[in-house]
Structure 1
Amino acid sequence: MTTDAAGTVRPDAVFAALRTAILAGTIAPGAAVTEALVSDSFGVARPTARIAIDRLVADGILEREPHHAARVRRLGRDDIADLFAARAAVESAAVALLAATAVVPDAASAAHDRLLALDADASYWAIDLAFHRALVQGAPTTRLPRLHDQLMGEIEFALAQVDAHRLRSTREVAAEHGRILAAVAEGDPALAEHLTRAHILASRDRLLAHLDTHGR
């Protein structure tokens, strides 16, 4: 874990470790994440624990009501629908702008290659996220990437849930990524926008269907 020159654990290291534990499901939805728990678990002072918790609240991974401990969010149906609608709007607009340049970002191609190399039933969401981030960051716009960054914490949280339930196969996701890259390379903004939106909303629909059936 990262420390400063005095050997003190830094808040960003605690934040990263907590975030990883939550995304991995080690800390379950609804579980309380208190300053005392974080302080004891990581051997840090409470102010350091508080900073890490506050960052996770800001990212939408934890939620906190006044005078109550922060808890891992439970993403409900309305949360998922709203989040994926926002994500689809931002990413499809960015990819349309990217396609107008007909230039595929190297980072997006690299992420796609990593996804193709995975086994069919392997965990893929981190690579999927890297692919989408690369597309948005590669677009000739400064504001859409900033908007996307604001959604990233919740997006990653939601994608981890999709992956945990294996609602989409690696091959299915890779095939859709390939079609998006082809549309960008061909300089077809309308097709690239359509494919990106459809790709994101397909994940939304699978997760919503799972929630409707299983309630989690």
Structure 2
Amino acid sequence: MTLSFFDQFISPVFLGIPLMGIAIALPWVLLPAAATRWLSNRMLALQGWFMNRFISQLLLPLNPAGHKWAVLFTSLMIFLITINMLGLLPYTFTPTTQLSLNMGFAVPLWLATVIIGMRNQPTHSLAHLLPEGTPTLLIPVLIIIETISLFIRPLALGVRLTANLTAGHLLIQLIATAAFALLPVMPTIAISTGALLFLLTLLEVAVAMIQAYVFVLLLSLYLQENV
């Protein structure tokens, strides 16, 4: 029986127990914990250097009030990168291909930025709904459009991450299926297809890292508008 290509995106279940929780918790086990020694090893030094560079680049345009989000943004970034990368291994599952999980990250964080803006600077936050110098007749229309664009932001965050990872996984599976089907008939074309599959896998690794960065970067831009 031929299985659907979308079966790889179904949450795995073992003995009736969903394994989504294990897939989400596994990346934290792989990260090295901070040592009590004065001198750390190369892995910890590289991890610390990456976090420092990421925080400095991400929080550079933010006001000092937004620097409180540094730990949250860094943790989310590392979490998304490790989950996306581990999902490329054979016999694994990528939780971020589930729209429900991505929306669970996007909606609360986006809502927190909006609430912070409404509490600290309500006039400035509401000013984004109406650009300066708008003609009187266009005011109701622009307010409706800007309100819709404001509430569509978390949906765009979740759908962007889900769609990019899902499309990449599907394309890899389609090309791999074609390579196996062509191997006994046209070995040369099958080998060429395998080389293409290797390059596509490298591209997917880059996409997994870039999409995690874009997710956190957009959240920081939303926070920048409200602090």
Same fold (TM over 0.5): no
Bigger proportion of residues as helix? 2
TM-score, scaled relative to structure 2: 0.28
TM-score by length of 1: 0.29
RCO comparison, higher one (Cα < 8 Å, 6+): 2
